[in-house]
C-alpha cells in the first residue's frame, strides 16, 4: 500500500536531552544522567534496553550504545554508566573528558535486544565488570514485579567494584560479588546445578565470560533459549579500504579508525542502524561484488553468509582486498 509513504529513518527515533548529573564512581567508571530537554518524562523502557548516545567530537559524530541502568519505573531521567577505555576509538574518552552537567545531547529511543523472559520462574544474572549496567535496571524491575532473582557479579578489585556497595546493601543475600584480585571466581557449574526448573540465566560482560556461560550451561543440559547474553562488539580499527556504493553511485574511503558504517554516513548516504554493535541486524547490506577477504565481526549473519560473501554488517565488519561493491 502507499497511503502516506514516509522514508524509514536511520536509527531509532531521537530524543533531545540535557545532562543532569555526572557522577564519577571510581577510577574508570562515571555515571551520566539525562533528562528530556523539553522537561517532559522520557519514554518508558524495559529493563535490558540500550540507548545510542550521539557525541559531537570536534565535528566528528560518534554514536555509542550504552545500557540504560536506571529504574524503568522512573522515567524522569535515564542513567548510563561509561567505562573509560583508553585504548578504544574515543567515545568513552569523550564522555569522560568533555561531557558536563547542562550539556545538550541527542540520544535514541530505548531499544531492547536483551529483554527479560517474563515466563521465567527465576532470573539468574551474571555480570562481569561494566556488564553490570543492564542488570541494575533488571533488578529494579524484578523487585517491582516481586520476581525471584540473584546476581553473581565478578569485578577486578574492590576499588573497581562499580555499584557493589549499593547492591550489597539493598539486596543482602541476593547479590554475590567475586573479586579477581582475591582469586575468587563464580562456581558456575554448581550455580547452574542448583537452579529450579524454569530458571533463566543472563550474562553480560567480556566475550570470554559470555562464551564460558553459554558453553557451561549447554554442557549441563540447559536449553539455549534459557540462556541470554548481550555483547556489543566495538568496531575495531583496521587497514583503510575503498568501497563503491552502487545505489548512491559513490566511491568512499574507509579510514583506519572508522567503521564502514561511519564512512557511509560521512559520505552523506543514510544507512539504517540500531545497535552499531553487530547484534541487531538492522544495517545488513548486500554485497554486489568483491575481490578480497571480509573480516566479519558481527553476531547476526550465519556462517554460510559469512563464508559466501553475500552480505556484510558495516557497523563492525571490514574488508581487505582489491575491490568491494555494496548495494547501498
Partner 1 sequence: MTIQFNEETFRDDYSFHNSDWAIKRFPFPFHEDSYMYAVNMEQHRGGPEGSVYEKRFDVDEHYVSEMRDRAMVLADDPLRCQSLPHMTLAGWDLLELIMVSKSEDYPDLFELHRNGNQWRWVNKPLGIDDTFTFLDETTLPYGPMEYITRQAQGDFCVLDQRDDMLWMDAGMVTTQADWSLDFDIGMNFFEWHAPVPLAHEMGIFKRALKFLLNIQQGAPARRLNWTMTVNPLLDTSPENYHKWGIQKTTLTPENIGAKQHLRVELQTFFRLPRSNALVFPIRCYLCSFQDLMTMPKWGRRLHRVVRDLPEELATYKGFIDNRPMMLDYLSQFDDGLPTSRGVWPDLDTEPALKKSS
Least distance CB 68 / partner 1 (angstroms): 12
Q: The cell 556488564 sits on which residue?
A: 131
CA-to-CA separations, 162 to 125, 135, 165, 306, in angstroms, rounded: 16, 12, 8, 37
Our CB check for partner 1 shows the closer of 169 and 197 to be 197
Neighbours of 112 (CB within 10 A): 16
**Using an 8 Å Cβ cutoff, are 191 and 203 in contact?**
no
The phi and psi torsions of 110 (rounded to 5 degrees) equal -65, 140
Least distance CB 64 / partner 1 (angstroms): 18
The Cα 100–Cα 206 span in angstroms is 28
Beta strand extents in 38-174 (DSSP E only): 49-57, 60-67, 78-83, 104-108, 111-112, 122-128, 148-155
Our CB check for partner 1 shows the closer of 70 and 92 to be 70
Least distance CB 60 / partner 1 (angstroms): 26
Least distance CB 303 / partner 1 (angstroms): 16
Our CB check for partner 1 shows the closer of 69 and 252 to be 69
Least distance CB 268 / partner 1 (angstroms): 22
Q: Which residues contact 208 (CB under 8 A, 6 or more apart)?
A: none
| 207 exposure class (CB count in 10 Å sphere: 0-12, 13-18, 19+) | exposed
Spatial CA neighbour of 114 closest among 78, 69, 162: 69
Our CB check for partner 1 shows the closer of 29 and 315 to be 315
Our CB check for partner 1 shows the closer of 4 and 183 to be 4
The Cα 67–Cα 89 span in angstroms is 19
Q: Which residues pair with 195 in a beta bridge?
A: none
Strand, coil or helix: 69: coil
The phi and psi torsions of 89 (rounded to 5 degrees) equal -85, -5
Least distance CB 118 / partner 1 (angstroms): 4
Our CB check for partner 1 shows the closer of 147 and 237 to be 147
Our CB check for partner 1 shows the closer of 280 and 324 to be 280
The Cα 328–Cα 326 span in angstroms is 6
Binding stretches for partner 1 (CB under 8 A): 1-6, 8-9, 12-13, 43-46, 48-49, 72, 109-112, 115-119, 145, 224-225, 274, 280-282
Our CB check for partner 1 shows the closer of 5 and 102 to be 5
Length of the chain: 328
Beta strand extents in 27-121 (DSSP E only): 29-36, 49-57, 60-67, 78-83, 104-108, 111-112
The Cα 218–Cα 194 span in angstroms is 15
Least distance CB 163 / partner 1 (angstroms): 23
Least distance CB 2 / partner 1 (angstroms): 5
Least distance CB 111 / partner 1 (angstroms): 5
Our CB check for partner 1 shows the closer of 1 and 197 to be 1
Amino acid at each position: 500500500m502507499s497511503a502516506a509513504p514516509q522514508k524509514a529513518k536511520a536509527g531509532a527515533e531521537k530524543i533531545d536531552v540535557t545532562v543532569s548529573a555526572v557522577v564519577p564512581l571510581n577510577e574508570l567508571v562515571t555515571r551520566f544522567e539525562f533528562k528530556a530537554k523539553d522537561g517532559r518524562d522520557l519514554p518508558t523502557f524495559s529493563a535490558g534496553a540500550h540507548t545510542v548516545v550521539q557525541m559531537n567530537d570536534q565535528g566528528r559524530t560518534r554514536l555509542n550504545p550504552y545500557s540504560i541502568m536506571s529504574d524503568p519505573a522512573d522515567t524522569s531521567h535515564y542513567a548510563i554508566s561509561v567505562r573509560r577505555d583508553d585504548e578504544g576509538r574515543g567515545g568513552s574518552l569523550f564522555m569522560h573528558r568533555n561531557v558536563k552537567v547542562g550539556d545538550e545531547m541527542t540520544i535514541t529511543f530505548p531499544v531492547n535486544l536483551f529483554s527479560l523472559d517474563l515466563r521465567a520462574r527465576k532470573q539468574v544474572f551474571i555480570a562481569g565488570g561494566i556488564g553490570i549496567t543492564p542488570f541494575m535496571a533488571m533488578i529494579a524491575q524484578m523487585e517491582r514485579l516481586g520476581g525471584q532473582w540473584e546476581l553473581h557479579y565478578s569485578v577486578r578489585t574492590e576499588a573497581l567494584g562499580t555499584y557493589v556497595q549499593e547492591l550489597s546493601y539493598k539486596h543482602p543475600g541476593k547479590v554475590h560479588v567475586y573479586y579477581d584480585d582475591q582469586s575468587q571466581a563464580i562456581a558456575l557449574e554448581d550455580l547452574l546445578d542448583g537452579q529450579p526448573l524454569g530458571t533463566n540465566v543472563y550474562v553480560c560482560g567480556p566475550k570470554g565470560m559470555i562464551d564460558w556461560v553459554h558453553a557451561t550451561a549447554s554442557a549441563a543440559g540447559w536449553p539455549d533459549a534459557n540462556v541470554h547474553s548481550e555483547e556489543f562488539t566495538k568496531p575495531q580499527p583496521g587497514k583503510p579500504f575503498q568501497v563503491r556504493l552502487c545505489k548512491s553511485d559513490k566511491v568512499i574511503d574507509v579510514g583506519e579508525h572508522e567503521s564502514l558504517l561511519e564512512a557511509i554516513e560521512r559520505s552523506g548516504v543514510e544507512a539504517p542502524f540500531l545497535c552499531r554493535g553487530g547484534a541487531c541486524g538492522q544495517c545488513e547490506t548486500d554485497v554486489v561484488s568483491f575481490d578480497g577477504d571480509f573480516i566479519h565481526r558481527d553476531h547476526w549473519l550465519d556462517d554460510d553468509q559469512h563464508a559466501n560473501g553475500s552480505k556484510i554488517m558495516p557497523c563492525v565488519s571490514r574488508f581487505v582486498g582489491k575491490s568491494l561493491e555494496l548495494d547501498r
